[in-house]
Amino acid sequence: MGGPLASILPPRNQRYAVRVISVETFPLAAGARGNWLILRVHAANGATGLGEASQSGDDAAAIQHIERLGRLLQGRHIDNVVTLIAELRPLITDQPARAALSGIEQAMWDLVGQAVGMPVAALLGGPNFAEVQVYANINRETLDRSPTSFAASAARGGGFSFSRERNGEHMDSARDHQEMRQTRGLCQPGCRPGLAALFSGT
């Protein structure tokens, strides 16, 4: 066995369970503006790895790609996540497929981490930060896109919130930041809405 995990994974005859048997998807309702698309990869020993394939622009197509990639992975041992992903990459032709592959890769790293008793961050070289700030995503629940409505959503979310998301290629910096300043001015004490820029991979 080769690859970067060879030094920490036990011999194959001792880790037969780190083998893909199926992949399933389940959308989580995130509001009227869309869902979160979660996937679960099942291993032969009953362990499961989780991944996310949201915001592809077409959840139905992403699910089809996940199912297709899952069938290709059935029976495969997770020796080297990078190699497995490289084998699948030539099949990726659009954004839903990229989201599907990303979610499956996340889930496979999750399974490897469980198999060796290490957090995924350690497998990838170690964490960069001791703590990570969490936030409430209020973008999808806010149908009325006015600063007043975003401020009301931020009050319900509490703390630090991302109230707008735009693809980085289509951001109007002056307008977005002006609206963000208006939103912050309407917020209750303790609420700190922020602006997120999303970039689609190619």
CATH at 36? 3.30.390.10
Last residue of a domain, one of 123, 154, 177: 123
- Give residue 168's pLDDT: 42
If one counts the domains in the chain, the total is 2
The answer to whether residues 93 and 69 belong to one domain is yes
The answer to whether residues 115 and 17 belong to one domain is yes
The answer to whether residues 108 and 19 belong to one domain is yes
Question: Would you list the DSSP string of the chain?
Answer: --STTTTTSPPGGG-TT-BEEEEEEEEEE--TT-EEEEEEEEETTS-EEEEE---SS-HHHHHHHHHHHHHHHTT-B-S-HHHHHHHHGGG--SHHHHHHHHHHHHHHHHHHHHHHT--HHHHTT--S-S-----EE-TTT--S-SHHHHHHHHHHH-SEEEEEEEEGGG--HHHHHHHHHHHHHHSPTT-EEEEEEE----
Residue numbers in the chain where pLDDT is lower than 50? 1-2, 12-16, 167-170, 201-202
The answer to whether residues 77 and 17 belong to one domain is yes
pLDDT tens, position by position, 52-75: 999 898 999 999 999 999 999 999
Domain that holds residue 27: 12-123
The answer to whether residues 114 and 163 belong to one domain is no
Last residue of a domain, one of 76, 100, 123: 123
- Give residue 8's pLDDT: 55
The answer to whether residues 116 and 41 belong to one domain is yes
- CA-CA-CA-CA dihedral for 195, 164, 30, 68, to nearest 10: -80
The whole-angstrom separation of Cα 87 and Cα 20 is 15
The answer to whether residues 79 and 17 belong to one domain is yes
The answer to whether residues 143 and 58 belong to one domain is no
Last residue of a domain, one of 123, 151, 186: 123
- Give residue 5's pLDDT: 54
pLDDT tens, position by position, 115-126: 888 898 888 888
Domain-located, residue 37: yes
The answer to whether residues 24 and 65 belong to one domain is yes
The answer to whether residues 35 and 111 belong to one domain is yes
